[in-house]
Each structure stands twice: as C-alpha cells, then as structure tokens.
Amino acid sequence: MSHAAYVFDAYGTLFDVHAAVRRHAEAMGPDGQAFSELWRAKQLEYSWVRSLMGAYVDFWQLTEQSLDYAFARFPSADPKLKKQLLDAYWALDCYPEVPAVLKGLKERGARIAILSNGSPAMLASAVKNAALDIIIDDVFSVDAVKAFKTAPAVYDLVTTQYRLYPHAVSFQSSNRFDIAGATKFGFRTVWINRADVPDEYQDYGPSLILPSLESLQFGI
C-alpha cells in the first residue's frame, strides 16, 4: 500500500450531485439539466464568496440559497418542487463503482475518509443512504474550521487527525479547483474527470487523472 489514507471529496466524486433533479426529471421539464448545472455552480460560487468574505454559513444553507436562485433563473421550473429536490439531496445516489473501490482500498489496509464542504448532517445522511458507513472510517466536514475549500485549514483537518505528512495521503476529487488546493497543500492528488473537461490550474496539476474511481481499487 503506497498511501496510508485515501481521502475522497463527497459531492461529484462519491455522490452524483445531479441525481436530485434527475429523480424529478419529468416534473422539471426541458430545462432540468441546465437547472441542475446552475444549482451546482451557484452552490460552489457561494462557498468561495463566503470564504473570501469571512462570512461562513454551513453548506446546507448554501444549497438552499443556490436552489432558490436556480428557480429564479428558470421560470419553467415549478417552485413547488423545492421541497422534493432538497429532500432528494439528503439521499443522493453514489456512483456505481464507489462501494467496491472503497471496500477494496480498505481491505488493503488504508484508512478511508471523506473530506467535504458538506455539513456533518448532510454527509451523515448521504453516507448512510449509500450504505458506506460500514466502510468509511472518518468523515471530515469543513464545518470544523468554518471555511470552505480551498482553504489550507480544510486539508489540514486530515493530516492533523491522522498525524500524517501530506504526501502520505491520496486525495481524490472530481472538482478541479479542489485538486489544485489539495496539490498545493501537499497531498498526492487524483482528479476524477468524469465529464472529460479540459484541464486548468496548470501550476497545481494532479498526480493522476482518471475517468472514474474504478482503477483505484487496484491500489494505484
């Protein structure tokens, strides 16, 4: 085993952030996909702005606020769906390969953890819904430091708790900005480029780029 801990971002990496809208695709109408993409984009934008302002609120509040904005931008979407979409966000689908990958890494002796912008309650719900609670050792939420990714204090949650040097941690995320922050911190980083989008942040490149988490089960 080349790394003592394998740490995963949650949303977009383990859990499909677009699953909530997809479950209500018929009711959402033709703008459903664009609606979901805007909801996610604003959710992240609000986290960055809040961090820069020093005005932290937990990720659930940002999820609600960004959903309200998406409804305002897409009049075709019925605001009465708000509760259903928020309820669905507590039980997002995990990607198909996730359980086997995490189990395989754990069986090889690595610690398995989540490091996420999500609030503790959101993450506990998602992990339990996906039956990952029997595999994952620890769940680290930015709520502990009251700052969002890519603040260095977020990544330091892992190294402090595990008493590891950063290079002993393999960090996996589908979010390229997150990979940049983790790379600067000193983690070995694996960008899960599910959407096959162009690379960016060239001065903080990942150690490895994969289309999914599947190859990780072989301990790479």
Q: In the beta sheet, which residues pair with residue 138?
A: 113
pLDDT mean over 37-43: 97
Nearest to 97 by CA among 207, 189, 208, 13: 13
Rounded distance between C-alpha atoms, residue 131 and residue 94, angstroms: 10
Examine the pLDDT at 89 and tell me if it is beyond 70: yes
Q: In sequence order, what are the residues at sequence separation of 6 or more whose Cβ sits closer than 8 angstroms to the Cβ of residue 107?
A: none
Higher-confidence position of 108 and 38: 38
Average pLDDT on 211-219 reads: 84
Identified catalytic residue from 9, 93, 143, 178: 9
Residue 98 clears pLDDT 60, i.e. is over it: yes
Q: Does residue 39 contact residue 70 with C-beta atoms inside 8 Å?
A: yes
pLDDT at 217 over 80: no
**What is the model's pTM?**
0.95
Structure confidence by residue, pLDDT tens digits, 191-210: 999 999 999 999 999 999 99
The string of pLDDT tens digits covering residues 165-189 is 999 999 999 999 999 999 999 999 9
**Mean pLDDT across the chain, nearest whole number?**
95
What three-state secondary structure class fits 49? helix
Q: Is the pLDDT of residue 1 over 60?
A: no
**H or E stretch covering 189:** strand 188-192
Q: Is 87 a catalytic residue?
A: no
